[in-house]
Structure 1
Amino acid sequence: MFSAAPTHRRVLPPARAAAETDRTEATAGTSGGPEGAEPPSPKAGSRNPFFDNAKYLAIVLVAMGHSWEPLTDGSRAAEAFYMTVYTFHMPAFIIISGYFSRSFDMRKDRLQRLVTGVAVPYVLFETAYAFFKRWADNDPGQPISLLDPWFLTWFLIALFIWRLTTPLWQIVRWPIPLAVAIAVLASVSPDIGDDLDLQRVLQFLPFFVLGLSLRAEHFAMVQRRAVRIASVPLFAAALVMAYWAAPRMTSAWFYHRDSAQELGTTWWIGAVMTLALFGCSVVLTACFFSWVPTRRTWFTVLGAGTLYGYLLHGFVAKGSRFWGWFDDYAWLHTPLGEIAVTLIAGAVVTALCTPPVRKVFRFAMEPTMAWAFRKDPADTARARVSS
């Protein structure tokens, strides 16, 4: 009789090792900001301080931009700074989101993190913002609509959609030109409507796809001394251009939430503006990245809490309008007042990114929700092997 051939059972890898190999973070700040997988870092398994620094500095600019908005009507300088910052602060955030989403596929654990880190915070904060507006603005008619993102929550629904499309962008031959073409078409299509803020989803899409296409060496390229030096006159030129454009154009172009027709112009101007703003945003974002420190700093740890700062500062930003702070205190519209508003906005969002705040609000930003998902048979098998 033939002896049975020896069989070699394949042992499943430990769950912990698998998790460390492909650790992901859900969004623009749940545990760290707009991300999907840990960035390449000097030590395996450690965080790259460059990306944490970039996320923190970007979220500070977001908060400052919101604080400048009420000042732009009476200050051309404030409008110039506002336009300049709005050219690159969200593109920078979105490019990092795309970069950290490169490994995203439809694997179960990644989909779970997408739900808990993006979809759940979207539902919770869209609801919280609606109740806040009802109370703070005395607006009992403010609806709770998950189809119509209000204020800051558009980014969460956009990230959810972008990340689901990641596998598609990784198989097409020319992803960036295709994404730019989609953005241009969206900018001249007023019938898209407001559902899920699809105008923003589509018009900001090229930055996410650009992030998907980047590699670590691309970020190293913009860190060169020559780029850092060149960024100074480029930023200065951008400010001068914004100062000239302030009384001549609407800053709504930088929000990417309306079509050209809705902004009162022709379709071809919308196409030109979309392409021009994309080019300007990429250049200024590269300049911004060139000045981001690559070493650990005092604010590196705050880069792990940018979603907290992003969503929570919205209550302060909107509350300041609802309660008339900028109307009641005329000194805020003076040069010293504008500086004070800028510093206060930076301090508030910094405080909201700190570990104690993250600990308090982790239930909303990073819920585990193990009860909501079916157990993976492979995890059960690994548990049996390890025991």
Structure 2
Amino acid sequence: MSNDVSNAVAQARSPLPGPAAKPGAGTTAGDGPRDAFFDNAKYLLIVLVAVGHAWELVESTRATKALYILVYTFHMPAFIVISGYLSRSFAGRPRQIGRLLSGIVVPYVVFETAYSLFRRYAADEPDFAISLLDPFLLTWFLAALLIWRLTTPLWQQLRHPLAVALAIAVLASVTPGIGEDLNLQRVLQFLPFFVLGLCLKPEHFRLLGRRAIRMLAVPVFAGALAFAYWAATRMRNEWFFRRSSAQEIGEPWWTGAVMTLALFGCSLLLTAAFLAWVPRRRMWFTVLGAGTICGYLLHGFLIKGAKYSGFIDAHDWLHDPAGKIVLTLVVAVAVTLMCTPPVRRVLRPVTEPDLSWALRRDPAERPAKG
């Protein structure tokens, strides 16, 4: 994405984590070259996001749910960690605020309205309200990014920001009734991953590129998949969505604290294992990493359209193992096409609009008189 707000809306500008990187070189505010590593990671993650949403449409066997649990444990946390890392230089300067408006606020307003209208007419729910305070479907992430990015200077002033963020997440997980405004439960429960990203440095990503770490990632994923298969019949999916408190999903309050910390550890481990295997050189899909905002915001129409139309239920074979594989491949190809440069150019007026006409010029950029 060409804005600087991460996976869904940010520019992938950052110090290169590979061997040729210079620690501290470049910035996260759009200066310096694009980093193939982060573009690769964002593309692979957006495919997992779309595929995970597609799996929700079909009947879940134990094996399918195990894969679902595995993917949902790390795909959004990994996105958010990258978002935090790419936000390290945010200081609330006029130019950065302008990028927030063009890269987050405008897409949020446009797609929140579009998805609400889509549900109203495609799902035949004429009374479904359009509310910019109650994110529907995918737009919660844009609202969360806006809040996290605006609070970045605060986190950078704290001595132990990650500990504070974890405490906030734990308190949110045991506090019912926070409300749906801007999906604050998710904002607060996913907050530690963003703050962790703020704390990371280029050398941390270089460490993940070591051969020993990459080899260790294989048994980590194998063990996680085995555990997910065991947990498939014992664990609620709601834990991974982080949109409700423990009490709201029918669990004792103290399980919220336990699950928040346990899932943070598991998500962190799998995120590291995933990033260890992300290619660091340019690949055929590297260019698609710049358009993941399009894939993220568009694939919801495909997924929800299939649900609202009854297409999945009308084709029983899609619930069989072979059908699930076909569905996975179709969605992966579709979201890949949504990330291509032509689609990005078409959507640029709403995902990367030029708001220079509406914003005051940064005094620091004005030419000196005389």
TM range (shorter): over 0.9
The 1-side partners of 2:61 and 2:362 are apart by 58
Q: 1:372 aligns with which of 351, 354, 358?
A: 358
| Residue 261 of structure 2 is aligned to residue 283 of structure 1 | no
Q: Which residue of 2 aligns with 1:27?
A: 5
Structure 1 gaps of 5+ residues are: 1-23
User: Is 2:124 the partner of 1:138?
Assistant: yes
Measure, in 1, the Cα distance between the counterparts of 2:74 and 2:10. 18
2:111 corresponds in structure 1 to 125
Q: Evaluate the alpha carbon distance shift between residue 347 and residue 340 of structure 1 in structure 2; reply closer, same or farther with a 3 A threshold.
A: same
1:168 corresponds to which letter in structure 2? L
Query: How far off its partner does 1:36 sit?
Result: 6.1
Unaligned runs of 5+ in 2: 27-31
Aligned residue identity for 2:47: V
What is the identity, as a one-letter code, of the residue corresponding to 1:207?
A: F
Report whether the alignment pairs 1:163 with 2:138: no
8 Å contact from structure 1 (residues 35, 98) kept in 2: no
Q: Secondary structure at the match of 2:57?
A: helix
SS at match of 1:277: helix
- How far is the alpha carbon of 1:375 from its aligned partner? 2.9
Equivalent-residue separation in structure 2 for 1:328 and 1:262 (angstroms): 33
Aligned residue among 42, 56, 78 for 2:43: 56
Q: CA deviation at 1:378?
A: 4.3
**2:53 counterpart residue number:** 66
1:109 is matched by which residue type in structure 2?
R
Whether 1:245 aligns to 2:245 is no
Aligned residues: 358
- Tell whether the 8 Å contact from 2:294 to 2:344 is kept in structure 1 after alignment: yes
CA shift at 1:25, angstroms? Answer: 2.6
Q: Distance in 2 between matches of 1:187 and 1:376?
A: 40
In the alignment, is residue 98 of structure 1 matched against residue 73 of structure 2?
Answer: no
Q: Does 1:216 align with 2:202?
A: yes
Q: 1:168 to 1:326 in 2, by over 3 A?
A: same
Q: Is the 8 A contact 2:84 2:196 kept in 1?
A: yes
Pairs within 5 Å for 1:1-12 = none
Distance 1:331 1:101 in 2: 44
Alignment of 1:190-205 (within 5 A): 190-205=176-191
Cross-structure match for 1:38: 13
User: C-alpha separation between the residues in 1 aligned to 2:130 and 2:160?
Assistant: 39
Q: Find the residue that maps to 1:259 and give its secondary structure.
A: coil
Task: Confirm whether residue 328 of structure 1 aligns to residue 303 of structure 2.
Answer: no
Scaled by the length of structure 1, the TM-score of the pair is 0.89
Deviations 1:251-291 (A, max 9, x none): 11000000000010111111100100000000000000010
Mapped to 2, the partners of 1:298 and 1:330 lie a distance apart of 35
CA separation in 2, counterparts of 1:252 and 1:294? 34
Q: CA deviation at 1:133?
A: 0.6
Q: Contact 1:26/1:118 (CA < 8 Å) preserved in 2?
A: no
Once the two structures are superposed, residues 42-62 of structure 1 have per-residue CA deviations (whole angstroms, 9 ceiling, x without a partner) of 587321110000000000000
Bigger Rg, structure 1 or 2: 1
Deviations 1:72-107 (A, max 9, x none): x44111111011000000001000000000000111
Pick from 63, 66, 69 the counterpart of residue 83 of structure 1: 69
Percent identity between the two aligned chains = 59
2:40 is matched by which residue type in structure 1? N
Residue 15 of structure 2 aligns with an amino acid whose one-letter code is P
